[in-house]
A and B are shown apart, each in its own frame.
Chain A
Amino acid sequence: MALIKKRLNRSLPVSLMLFLFLALFGAFMALPLVYAVNNAFKPLDELFIFPPRFFVRNPTLDNFFDLAAVMGDSWVPLSRYFFNTIVITLFGTVGHIILASMAAYPLAKYKFPGSSAIFRVVVLSLMFSPHVTAIPNYMVMSRLGWIDTHLSLIVPAMAFPLGLFLMKQFMEQLPDAMLEAAKIDGASEYRIFWKIVMPNVKPAWLTLLILQFPVLWGTNGGDFVYSEELKTLNYALQQIILGGIARAGVGAAVALILMVVPITLFIISQSNVIQTMSSSGMKD
């Protein structure tokens, strides 16, 4: 068995059973996604065939051409939804990575009044979901005048607590000697952060990216964005699906685009993400 690592304490029959189990559930996990991919390439007659067929017989790019056509002549062009999604995702993710790193560096490396209390509050905030704060959030947004702007989606995303937590845990592993050497050379804290800490936590950037990106990429505009021209791609997808069977092909094409981007990102960054996650644990 070249596929299996030679290790202590392993017996082949049990290994095979476990792998069979894994393969079965792997199929369960993958089938809906495989189906989504297949659907995007099905011609119209195959989309509505009875009994329904799982795999595509005659793959075509028709759905994508239809999508391009719909993009052109709907009231708000679909390209506008694309643009909104990209703006929100880009600013939200990059801002999150920078702000979370800035906050994580002092928490990871120094003790100062309030540092442990602040970190404890961040950990505590991992223990409830944003739904809890939805209503007061609306009031805060309206006070700030951010209702119906992209800011209402971008800015709160920047202070996503999980990112700070992971970044801090990862930065703790940076050798102190490196930072002290820079300090002796006369570098300021900001310089140390930007020139030494940031380049050394690249794996953690990718991790924050992989956690934040799908959330923003898949946002439907939340409760705070009403204007049609500010809505996102996922919102457009939901409208297309609600539009019923006439747009089933286009819907499948949009769904494929929505899902391919984050998955590809994860495939590219996987080893870095795993490296960061190994320091994710909660100590006391």
Chain B
Amino acid sequence: MQAEQMEQPIESTVYPKKKVKVNHPNKRSKMNRFKSELKRGKHYYILMAPYMIIFALFTVVPVIVSLFLSFFSFNMLELPQFVGWGNYSRLFLSDDVFMIALKNTLVFAVITGPLSYLACFLFAWIINELSPKIRAFMTVIFYAPSIAGNVFFIWLIIFSGDAYGYLNGFLMRTGIILEPIQWLRDEQYVLGVVILVQLWLSLGTSFLAFIAGLQTIDHSLVEAGAVDGIKNRWQELWYITLPSMKPQLLFGAVLQITQSFAVADISIALAGFPSVNYAAHTVVTHLMDYGTIRFEMGYASAIATVLFGLMLGTNMLIQKLLRKVGT
């Protein structure tokens, strides 16, 4: 006891903060500690400030404003009027087009989400077996469409509705069809075409993350696995590769899910806006319709909020599921 007291003056001159923390865990000292930590972190806040101000201004604030506005009727000219749940009830109960958009968005998400995720992993996995030079080449081939700008207009020519369209030309020459098919104007096909092109474009950042993840797998794990009785590549994939790549798999899932819910540009470019009988209408194009054409900002905010909830909810759910895999 006495020895402690004698030590204290020395300690407090060297580490004044520590002494306060250990001996007086009351509110005041917590405040002081917080203040001194804030002071110590001053440089860090200054470094982060430019990014965070922009991030707050264009991401955080808009999300909050959007949530708030979704309970108002607002046309940018008059003052907002509170309508409670009015926008939402209109959205779900009386907006038939929204129901089509929601259905299409879910179809896109359910098909392109998992398919593109699987494709990213599968192709990365096969590419990883190749020698470095061919691997680099194949990576470019698969990644290029996602960064090639809006080159997907090429697909417009391929699926062009007249006989000059490549697909029609090919099918007519081989005798499968006799008359050109209106790929992008026929409700039967247009959703499928948009899904196909979306998949073509979807081997993006997560694909690269998977390639990188595969390259960093510890080779001694594979050797140890072989000793433990792993005989073929499928077992290696399941017991070694997938568990070691979990962080990348989680990261890739987030990107692919978000992307699969946000289909809009491709739908507009290929199927037009609005598309025939809203066959390729999505929640995002519906949002554009009300936000940028009809200027019903409150209603559009309600659509944005539903989209936000869909994306965030699905992401959270999938994260939870993926974290469980292999534990």
* Chain A residues at the B interface, C-beta cutoff of 8 Å: 2-5, 7-11, 14-15, 18-19, 21-22, 25-26, 28-30, 32-33, 35-36, 39, 48, 50-52, 54, 99-100, 102-103, 105-107, 110, 112-113, 115, 118, 121-122, 124-140, 155-156, 158-159, 161-162, 164, 188-190, 193, 210-211, 213-214, 217-218, 220, 223, 234, 237-238, 241, 255, 258-259, 262-263, 266-267, 270-271, 273-278, 280-284
**Contact of B126 with A32 in the complex, beta carbons under 8 Å:** no
Within 8 A of A (CB), among B145-172: 145-158, 163-166, 169-170, 172
Residues of A within 8 A of B131 (CB): 2-5
Q: Is B98 an interface residue (CB 8 A)?
A: no
**Contact of B55 with A161 in the complex, beta carbons under 8 Å:** yes
* Chain B residues at the A interface, C-beta cutoff of 8 Å: 34, 37-38, 40-41, 43-45, 47-48, 50-52, 54-55, 57-63, 65-66, 69, 119, 123, 126-127, 129-131, 134, 136, 138-158, 163-166, 169-170, 172-173, 200, 203, 205, 208-209, 211-213, 215-216, 222-223, 226, 230-233, 235-236, 245-248, 250-251, 254-255, 257-259, 261-262, 264, 284, 287-288, 291-292, 297, 300-301, 304-305, 307-308, 311-312, 315-316, 319, 323
B304 CB contact (under 8 Å) in A25, A36, A132, A258: A132
In the complex, A155 Cα to B57 Cα: how many Å?
10
In the complex, A50 Cα to B319 Cα: how many Å?
51
In the complex, A61 Cα to B327 Cα: how many Å?
59
In the complex, A179 Cα to B59 Cα: how many Å?
32
**Contact of A155 with B54 in the complex, beta carbons under 8 Å:** yes
Nearest CB to that of B247 among chain A residues?
Answer: A281
Nearest CB to that of B207 among chain A residues?
Answer: A277
B123 CB contact (under 8 Å) in A22, A241, A255: A22
Cβ of B120 to closest chain A Cβ, rounded Å: 12
Cβ of A28 to closest chain B Cβ, rounded Å: 7
Residues of A within 8 A of B62 (CB): 132-133, 135-137, 140
**Contact of B58 with A159 in the complex, beta carbons under 8 Å:** yes
**Contact of B248 with A281 in the complex, beta carbons under 8 Å:** yes
Residues of A within 8 A of B150 (CB): 218, 220, 234, 237-238, 258
B48 CB contact (under 8 Å) in A26, A113, A118: A118
**Contact of B144 with A103 in the complex, beta carbons under 8 Å:** no
**Contact of A277 with B208 in the complex, beta carbons under 8 Å:** yes
A159 CB contact (under 8 Å) in B44, B55, B212, B251: B55
Nearest CB to that of A280 among chain B residues?
Answer: B209
**Contact of B58 with A9 in the complex, beta carbons under 8 Å:** no
In the complex, A50 Cα to B27 Cα: how many Å?
83
**Contact of A110 with B144 in the complex, beta carbons under 8 Å:** no
